[in-house]
Structure 1
Amino acid sequence: MKVGNRLKNINEENNFFYLTLALIALLISGALAEVVGSGAIERVLQVTIVITFIVCFASLRFDKNWSRLLKTLALFWVAVIIFKLIFERREMDIAMLALTFCFFFGTFKSTAKQVLFHGEVNTNKVIGSVALFLLLGLMWAIVYLVVIEYSPGAFTGMEAISWGENFSNAAYFSFVTLTTLGYGDISPVTPLAQVVVYLEAIVGVFYMAIVVSSLVSANLQHREQQNG
């Protein structure tokens, strides 16, 4: 009951606060899941993704198009989980990763529409820009996991194990690349992996400039409209 009331309290003035918290919780759970043991890692991640899914739906329900897409993704998600439990086929892992990417991408698109280039810049929008950054890193983490599924030796420092067990490593490498830190403990080996990595690094470099300029532009436009 308390959780339901909390979700009802999400509105257009605080929605990105809850969205960002949900994404941070997903990242933390990915790291903590490894402590539970390999047999339970994917289940822990699936539960956390479902919780994130619910919070994202409540946070972005003001975008009607995304709400409809989210409901469609939920149906496919349940179908894939059921098929995986019955058949245990590798293709189900790929389908799960594809749906997860679509979820992150759709959430990114809906958030960007509400945060960038229009309206007054407030605390909620600033937090929304943080959510956008987290979503970028998560999307690329999913791409790395798909690359590993098809090319197990694509990265040094990441073993060809189940996507659930590799999620934390992929997310770590993704954010290290996105922020252009480049520690070197995980490195791309194959040409495809190298292309994906440097594309993320390019996006990371330009992200801050684009977000700052869009927020400044939106704020100036809002002031001009207020002043007539």
Structure 2
Amino acid sequence: MARFWHLRWWVLARRHPSAWLLLAQLCGLLLYPALDGMPMGNVLVSVFGAIVLALALWVVSHSPTVAWLAWCLALPGATFSLLAAWRADPQMLALGHVFEGALYFYTAAGLIAYMLQDHEVTSDELFAAGATFTLLAWGFAFAFSVCQILQPGSFVAAVHPEYQRSWMELLSLSFSMLSGVGLSDIMPVRPAARALVMLSQFAGVMYIALVVSRLIGLSILRHGQRGR
């Protein structure tokens, strides 16, 4: 019986790789605040990020993208981020975030291609819709991080405006811009930062308008055909 359940969980995991990536991303939203300010917190965040990168590579292998290119982005990204967390080197952190952000955008592109490749909506494609949104949010958060490292003071807030923004603040800004809510106390004040924020707003609107609306329409069509 135990072997049967183990096999069943393995089959479910292989059928829904996007669900595991989405779960890991959502767990990260709860984990990051708990690690904020802890000794070795940056290292633990980087380790968790490496685990999420491994899941992203797994998802890439199930999507119509080139796996070796994803590995070329993931390995240096994880290496530079771990070294930067250990040495507290902002320049190395920026380099790591460049590779990690590129991998997240590449994985998001692969999932979008996966969702658009047919006219049937599966349960894994619905999980992929959520995972793609979180991938875009993390990707733009990495872009914001690189921007403020290269140009300090790119983002300001009502609380401690002179400080560099934390990872959670940048991630919150990314979610706010992509969702179109715009409810954030973080403001871009430099031209590069404003450009990145506008790109994130455009990406969020186009993703919901083109991808999510298509999945909803196909789901309604499928249920209508079953009803007839």
Fold in common (TM above 0.5): yes
Is the 1:154–1:190 contact (alpha carbons within 8 Å) kept by the matching residues of 2? yes
Q: Quick one: distance in 1 between partners of 2:214 and 2:137?
A: 20
Who is 1:102 aligned against? 102
Relative to structure 1, is the Cα distance of residues 153 and 130 closer, same or farther in structure 2, using a 3 angstrom cutoff?
same
Who is 2:16 aligned against? 14
Relative to structure 1, is the Cα distance of residues 50 and 27 closer, same or farther in structure 2, using a 3 angstrom cutoff?
same
Q: Following superposition of structure 1 onto structure 2, how do residues 12-91 of structure 1 map, counting pairs within 5 Å?
A: 13-34=15-36, 37=38, 39-63=39-63, 65-77=65-77, 79-80=79-80, 84=84, 89-91=89-91
Relative to structure 1, is the Cα distance of residues 209 and 83 closer, same or farther in structure 2, using a 3 angstrom cutoff?
closer
Relative to structure 1, is the Cα distance of residues 126 and 190 closer, same or farther in structure 2, using a 3 angstrom cutoff?
same
What residue identity is the alignment partner of 1:10?
A
Q: Quick one: distance in 1 between partners of 2:64 and 2:129?
A: 21
Moved more, 190-199 or 167-176: 190-199
Q: Quick one: distance in 2 between partners of 1:106 and 1:76?
A: 15
What residue identity is the alignment partner of 1:151?
Q
What residue identity is the alignment partner of 1:118?
D
TM-score, normalised by the number of residues in structure 1: 0.78
Is the 1:7–1:55 contact (alpha carbons within 8 Å) kept by the matching residues of 2? no
Who is 2:225 aligned against? none
Moved more, 110-119 or 54-63: 54-63
Q: What whole-Å deviation, never above 9, does each CA across 1:75-123 have from its counterpart, x for those lacking one?
A: 3245535764897644311111111112211211221121124241022
Q: What whole-Å deviation, never above 9, does each CA across 1:164-196 have from its counterpart, x for those lacking one?
A: x82111001111122222235211112222222
Q: Quick one: distance in 2 between partners of 1:64 and 1:199?
A: 25
Q: Quick one: distance in 2 between partners of 1:130 and 1:57?
A: 17
Who is 1:123 aligned against? 123
TM-score, normalised by the number of residues in structure 2: 0.78
Q: Quick one: distance in 2 between partners of 1:47 and 1:87?
A: 14
Relative to structure 1, is the Cα distance of residues 173 and 23 closer, same or farther in structure 2, using a 3 angstrom cutoff?
same
1:52 Cα offset (Å): 0.9
Moved more, 193-202 or 94-103: 193-202
What residue identity is the alignment partner of 2:134?
L
Q: Quick one: distance in 1 between partners of 2:84 and 2:63?
A: 31
What residue identity is the alignment partner of 2:31?
S
1:9 Cα offset (Å): 5.2
What residue identity is the alignment partner of 1:92?
M
Percent identity over paired residues: 21
1:55 Cα offset (Å): 2.1
User: What are the ranges of 5 or more consecutive residues in structure 1 without an aligned counterpart?
Assistant: 223-228
Relative to structure 1, is the Cα distance of residues 14 and 76 closer, same or farther in structure 2, using a 3 angstrom cutoff?
same
Relative to structure 1, is the Cα distance of residues 33 and 159 closer, same or farther in structure 2, using a 3 angstrom cutoff?
farther
User: What are the ranges of 5 or more consecutive residues in structure 2 without an aligned counterpart?
Assistant: 223-228
- Let me know the Cα RMSD of the aligned residues: 3.2
Is the 1:10–1:58 contact (alpha carbons within 8 Å) kept by the matching residues of 2? no
Moved more, 129-138 or 192-201: 192-201
Aligned residues: 215
Could you say which structure has the greater relative contact order, defined with CA pairs below 8 angstroms and 6 or more residues apart? 1
